Structure 1
């Protein structure tokens, strides 16, 4: 593994061509419990999305099943027409029927219909990054990626991403078509996808870690070991956890989400933190055995 201390590159070339600031914004927290329905007032969600872009975010990550459909609609309402430097990523391949029911749907005709629906909700002719939310175990990978590749050749998708897979599956996918990004769970307390991260580094793929703050655990008392480092930097624990991801690998592009303007600003301030070699060593020791 490679640590970068003192400074790091703040941008990443997604797909080798789209420059994005490595700390983006995720939209899941704009929806209600279980990512179902609205969380609060629509105008508040729109305001947070606009504030994220005003504060320098150039990568917005959403999904068709957040709401479902609601998060994509909010992105379009807040940000369309999209700035030239703004990259919109969304996901398809999972159907929601309740706040606790997720159904993987990877047949080619399903993926095409989902992508077309996302295009309409996002009010765009082409999605910058379309991510397969889950590989469907009942459908050959070649068929799933073939459907996305066809959409890419038609100009409806610019780049393809994958969500929640193993290193071996990623290598197999790369043998079938071009992949620009991966989304797996990865944070200070969960590094089980380290092998996937290494493949991303080797191939220049963006790694968008989900639950970068361990779903809130890293901002609470369970992360007391962060206190000393946070105190020295005069920063909240969550900022240190996000800064660690930015230092951990140049391909890591976390997209933490929030519905709070104050929390948004706090998250984005992690870009300003420079961790020392001693900080990084102590944070490495937090990894589970």
Structure 2
């Protein structure tokens, strides 16, 4: 692939009244490496600034993205403030971590207000553009009703602390429940070419409602799969780029938020915005179960 590296190549979508490029950036890997060790601070800031240079205007983060000596929100603030006018920072609440780093989950208005205000303070903002209410503390889909937590966020939205609302780690039933409470601009679930394909129907349901579907861990693939390798070789790109491009081909409402703390991987990920897969490519990839 010999296209330029440009996040705008995948087109745009609306998150409420904010326009974002469909190729965005996930901040989870900024605070620590995949082995759990703290990231290099200056490298993380370099990655963020380069992402903006390459056209990224949608960053996904959370106050609980931190290591022993780094915090994603603080790195974003330090590297990018004052923020570009078109930058949309999306965060998530519900899960949190105590000072020892142990995970917890909250759903009351008082506790969620604390998490929202923590994100606002760390990011140096007056309000948050988009907040996802995430169910559960693990990758297992949340169970039960989301009414208490999502309803509490809807009240905070009315107070002006939050501009738009999303939900994460959910099922179609949760989406329908949320829509009865307040408008939803995005759904953020684990999803990819060979991960959680039961959500194919949820992607379509979101499209019907004009809601962005924002998969995380979209590059994850487990064992090597021949179809991915063949398509990657034919286009002269990496398998990760094929997986990202496949995700973006699922519909105009699908946004990508690949994350990395590595400058080279950043450019590789964003390069996938310009990768166009043929019908034959997609048919071959869709044989993967």
Specify if TM > 0.5.
yes
Matched, 1:163 2:162: no
Partner of 2:57 in structure 1? 58
1:46 Cα offset (Å): 0.8
Any idea what the Cα deviations from partners look like across 1:168-197, whole Å, max 9, x if unmatched?
A: 111111111111111111100011222321
How many residues end up aligned between the 2 structures? 274
Equivalent in the alignment of 1:30: 30
Deviation per residue, 1:195-224 (Å, 9 max, x gap):
32122111111111010101xx36xx6133
1:29–1:35 contact (8 Å) kept in structure 2: no
Task: Using the TM superposition, name which of 184-193 and 128-137 deviates more.
Answer: 128-137
Confirm whether residue 187 of structure 1 aligns to residue 187 of structure 2.
no
Question: 46-55 vs 132-141, which deviates more?
Answer: 132-141
Question: RMSD across aligned C-alpha pairs, in angstroms?
Answer: 2.3
Which residue does the alignment assign to 1:106?
Answer: 107
Judging changes above 3 Å, is the alpha-carbon distance between structure 1 residues 34 and 108 closer, same or farther for their aligned structure 2 residues? farther
Matches within 5 A, 1:261-280: 261-280=263-282
Corresponding residue of 1:231: 233
Q: Deviations over 1:228-248 (max 9, x none)?
A: 111111111111111111111
Q: Which runs of 5+ in 2 are unaligned?
A: 1-8
1:106 aligned counterpart, secondary structure: coil
Distance (whole Å) between structure 1 residues aligned to residue 191 and residue 100 of structure 2: 24
Residue 140 of structure 1: CA displacement? 5.5
Is the Cα contact below 8 Å between 2:147 and 2:177 reproduced in 1?
A: no
Equivalent-residue separation in structure 2 for 1:227 and 1:133 (angstroms): 34
Q: Give the whole-Å Cα distance in 1 for the aligned partners of 2:49 and 2:250.
A: 29
Is contact 1:161–1:180 with CA below 8 Å preserved after alignment? yes
Cα deviation, residue 35, structure 1: 9.6
How far 1:41 moved relative to its partner? Answer: 1.6
Per-residue CA deviations over 1:102-155 (Å, capped at 9, x if unaligned) read 322111111011101110001000111111122697996332122211211121
Mapped contact 1:34–1:99 kept (Cα < 8 A)? no
**8 Å CA contact 1:106, 1:139 repeated in 2:** no
2:129 aligns with 128
Which of 204, 208, 213 is residue 202 of structure 1 equivalent to?
208
Deviations 1:25-72 (A, max 9, x none): 001111226897x63221111110111111100100001111168111
Q: Give TM-score, length-normalised by structure 1.
A: 0.88
Q: Distance in 1 between matches of 2:274 and 2:84?
A: 24
Q: Secondary structure at the match of 1:193?
A: helix
Query: Which ranges of structure 1 fall in alignment gaps of 5 or more residues?
Result: 1-7
SS of the equivalent of 1:32 reads coil
Separation in 2, partners of 1:59, 1:170: 22
Q: Which has the higher helix share?
A: 1
Measured at CA, do residues 80 and 274 of structure 1 come closer, stay the same or move farther in structure 2, by a change above 3 Å?
same
SS in 2 for 1:248: coil
1:285/1:107 Cα in 2 relative to 1: closer, same or farther (>3 Å)? same
Q: Structure 1 residues 34, 145: closer, same or farther in 2, change over 3 A?
A: farther
- CA separation in 2, counterparts of 1:35 and 1:104? 24
Which residue does the alignment assign to 2:257? 255
SS at match of 1:228: helix
- The alpha-carbon distance between structure 1 residues 249 and 266, as it changes in their structure 2 partners (threshold 3 A), is same
Bigger mean CA offset, 153-162 vs 96-105: 96-105
